Amino acid sequence: MKNKISLLTIIVFLSVSLSGLFIIEFSPQQKLGETLNTIGLSLAQLIGLIMLVTNGTILTTKIFRTIQIGIGFLMIGAIFKIMHWPGASIILLVSMFTIAITYLVRFIYKKNKIRLDVLKLLWVLFAYIGGLFILMHLLPPEFGNLTHLILWLAIIDFIITGIKNKTLFKQI
C-alpha cells in the first residue's frame, strides 16, 4: 500500500514538473515555470529515494548505523558551509567519503546482487564522491545531472521490476 501512495505522489509531482515545462514553453511566466519544474522534479525524486530506501534491506543491517552517523556529520558540514565557519570542508570530506565507502563495503559483501543494487551503488558513489568533487571545483556543476539520471534509472528499474514480479503493491 505504501508503494501505491509513493507511486501516485511521484506521478503528481512529475505532473507539476511537466506543467512547469509547459509554462516555460508557452507562457511569458518563465520564472514560475522554472520553479514548478524544479520543485516537481525534486520532490518526485525525494519520494522515489524514500521508496527505494524503505523497500531495501539496508535498514536492517548494522552498517546502516555508520551511514546514519555519516549523514549526521554531512548535515553539520552543510551548516558549517552555509555559515562560512572554518572546518566545513573537512567535515564534508570525511562524511561524504564515510557514506560512500561504507555503502561500497556493504555492496561488496552483499551476496545476491541485482541490477538495482548496482544502480544504487552508482548513485551513492556519484552523489557523494561526485558531489565532493563538485564542491572542490574539480568537476563542473553539470556533473550533478548524471547523479539525477542514475537515481531516476534506479527508481524506474525498481518500479518496472516490481510490476513485472507483482511485488510492487504487495502488502507487507
**Cα separation of 12 and 25, whole Å?**
20
Residue in this structure with the C-alpha cell 524514500, named with its chain if needed: 50
- pLDDT value at residue 1: 61
Q: What is the pLDDT averaged over residues 59-65?
A: 88
For the chain, the residue count is 172
Q: What percent of the chain lies above the pLDDT cut of 90?
A: 70
**Cα separation of 102 and 119, whole Å?**
16
Look up the pTM and report it.
Answer: 0.86
**Cα separation of 116 and 119, whole Å?**
5
Three-state SS for 127?
Answer: helix
Q: How confident is the model at residue 158 (pLDDT cuts 50, 70, 90)?
A: very high
Angle at 101 between CA 10 and CA 158, to 5 degrees: 25
Three-state SS for 4?
Answer: helix
For the cut 80, the answer to whether the pLDDT of residue 172 exceeds it is no
Residue in this structure with the C-alpha cell 574539480, named with its chain if needed: 138
**Cα separation of 47 and 88, whole Å?**
28
